[in-house]
Amino acid sequence: MHTEITHIPTAEILDEALLRDRAHLDTEALEDLAASIHRDGLRQPIEVWALSQPTETHRYGLISGLRRLTATRLLHTRNPATHTTIAAFIRTPASIPDAMAQMIAENEIRENLTPWERGLTLARAVEQDLFPTIDAAILALHPTATKQKRTRLRTLALVAEEFEDCIATPELLSQNQIERLAACLRANLTPVIRQILKENRKASLPSQWAALTPTLTEALDPESDPTPTKPGRPRRLLTLKQGLTIRRERCAGGWSLKFTGPEAKRNGLMDDVMDEIERLFQPR
């Protein structure tokens, strides 16, 4: 492994050469880092490798140090005469997965990655055919993880894989929230969760979570279902060909039914529903 420090033009480094494990860079923290680099210099070199097929603009791929590279580039844009290069260790990973493992190992020490970011990295690594399964990705990218940690990582990856496209700012989800979503996956409640998120697709994460809470609480409470062994019960979601989706939800004092879809906008729909309920419970 090369241990000497090389000063490389930042423009020659492709920061997206690897699937990154950090989905979001905090603007305020980035400004603090840039100020520190401007004042005291770069305390720790970044890590790169020489691309086997360099382009006209990029000769190196970034392994670790995305925040340091981004902050240095930020300083360069503010004063083009400075910070044109960055100190780097040139590594020689055996493969792209090996380079990813090096990146994750470094970030586990230096960065406070969120649970969502850890799970999303694993899910995307499988999606991009870097590994055949999530378990294989965990074994390669987290080789020293305990059995308990591997189980936790698998949970994070499965939730990220399923809900990546419908949760607002998912990097703000806590470990506990992700585990509750995972419990819903295991209980085959994915369609219900996705429907609730679809109904609240423009809402913030706190609003989305508030909308999910009644269903999460009811679905994960073993005492909430009086007929747990009856096939097809309890029914929580009904989607009709006519363009109508009906979802039940526990509320204070009982239950509510939520109607969505094009047919839900039809005049008289609620009157028809109430007429039918009256026929069932109060026959004339």
**How confident is the model at residue 226, as a pLDDT?**
46
- Give the Cα separation of 173 and 208 in Å (integer): 11
Length of the chain: 284
> b/e string for 149-180 if b means 16 or more Cβ within 10 A?
eeebbbbbbbbbbbbbebbbebbebeeebbeb
CA angle 135, 132, 99 (to 5 degrees): 80
**How confident is the model at residue 134, as a pLDDT?**
92
* 135 φ, ψ (degrees, to nearest 5): -60, -40
pTM confidence score: 0.67
**How confident is the model at residue 136, as a pLDDT?**
92
- Give the Cα separation of 186 and 58 in Å (integer): 44
Give me the residues of the chain with pLDDT under 50, please: 1, 226-227
- Output the six-digit token pair for 134: 């999530």
DSSP letter for each residue of the chain:
---SEEEEEGGGEETTSS--S-----HHHHHHHHHHHHHH--SS-EEEEE-SS--SS--EEEEE-HHHHHHHHHHHHH-TTS--EEEEEEE--SSHHHHHHHHHHHHHHH----HHHHHHHHHHHHHTTSSSSHHHHHHHH-TT--HHHHHHHHHHHHHHHHHTTTSSSGGG--HHHHHHHHHHHHTT-HHHHHHHHHHTTTS-HHHHHHHHHHHHHHHT-GGG-S-TTSTT-S--EEEETTTEEEEEEEETTEEEEEEESGGGGSTTHHHHHHHHHHHHHS--
